[in-house]
């Protein structure tokens, strides 16, 4: 049977944020790719208040469903808040074999990069999109995200699966040092940290921009999930 990949989007995110990655991985005959919209999130930015525990239960149920469908090897990819959620379930199920953290928000707000961007007039469009999403949230909704982060401090130490951490070096939301912190806290014996040059927080939007760059990163992730000797030869600390 094929292996299952579950891709989990981030806070105030949508499936669109990882659309290219989903489509790319679906081309590999070894994988069945799944993704779901988190509770309280809506593609129209109409966010409804839910407790953070609802997000945890939602991901837990998603894993149970995959196991019920017969998948004995499950790979998890979590972007932003999605990385926190996959770390929660990784320690609970033996069927989960590998995890990928994409700009995971165990730490939040990158004021250092924000200052650089403001001084260099860089990519205001990125901020317009982020603040537009946040503007459509309520304070209680955002506070549930904060509660999730606070409750997640012990999650990583219980994750023993092989792990790939991808951290953009110009992420406007998640601090650069976050990638190193995740690697240090992970209980995994085999864990790899890769920095993305000129990378921002969202990497795989479903548009036609930066296609070649998206392809390089997506292929890198695919090879990690495939594993074997080839992965060991192509692993890089920076791409």
User: H/E element holding 71?
Assistant: none
- 142: its two tokens: 């955002």
Band of pLDDT at residue 151, cut at 50, 70 and 90: confident
Question: Domain limits at 63?
Answer: 3-234
pLDDT, position 46: 59
Cα of 145 vs its chain's centroid, Å: 15
Residues 50, 229: Cα–Cα separation, whole Å: 43
pLDDT in tens, 177-229: 889 999 999 999 999 999 999 888 889 998 888 899 999 999 999 999 999 88
Domain count, the chain: 1
pLDDT at 28 over 70: yes
Bigger pLDDT: 45 or 163? 163
pLDDT, position 50: 86
Q: What is the CATH number of the domain that holds 219?
A: 3.40.50.1820
In contact, 164 and 224? CB cutoff 8 Å: yes
Q: What is the pTM of this model?
A: 0.87
What average pLDDT is seen over the chain?
86
198 located within any domain: yes
pLDDT in tens, 101-117: 999 988 764 334 333 44
143 located within any domain: yes
239 located within any domain: no
């Amino acid at each position: 049977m094929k292996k299952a990949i579950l891709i989990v989007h981030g806070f105030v995110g949508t499936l669109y944020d990882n659309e290219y990655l989903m489509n790319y991985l679906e081309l590999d005959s070894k994988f069945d790719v799944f993704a779901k919209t988190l509770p309280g999130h809506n593609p129209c930015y109409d966010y409804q208040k839910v407790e953070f525990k609802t997000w945890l239960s939602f991901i837990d149920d998603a894993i149970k469903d995959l196991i019920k469908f017969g998948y004995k090897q499950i790979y998890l990819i979590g972007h932003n808040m999605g990385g926190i959620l996959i770390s929660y379930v990784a320690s609970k199920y033996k069927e989960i074999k590998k995890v990928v953290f994409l700009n995971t928000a165990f730490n939040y707000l990158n004021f250092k990069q924000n200052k650089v961007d403001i001084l260099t007039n860089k990519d205001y469009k990125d901020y317009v999109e982020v603040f537009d999403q946040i503007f459509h949230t309520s304070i209680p909704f955002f506070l549930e995200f904060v509660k999730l982060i606070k409750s997640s401090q012990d999650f990583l130490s219980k994750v023993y699966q092989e792990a790939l951490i991808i951290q953009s070096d110009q992420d406007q939301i998640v601090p650069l040092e976050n990638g190193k912190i995740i690697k240090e806290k992970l209980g995994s014996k085999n864990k790899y940290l890769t920095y993305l040059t000129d990378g921002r927080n969202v990497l795989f939007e479903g548009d036609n921009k930066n296609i070649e760059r998206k392809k390089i990163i997506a292929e890198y992730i695919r090879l990690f999930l495939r594993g074997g000797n080839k992965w060991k030869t192509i692993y890089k600390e920076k791409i």
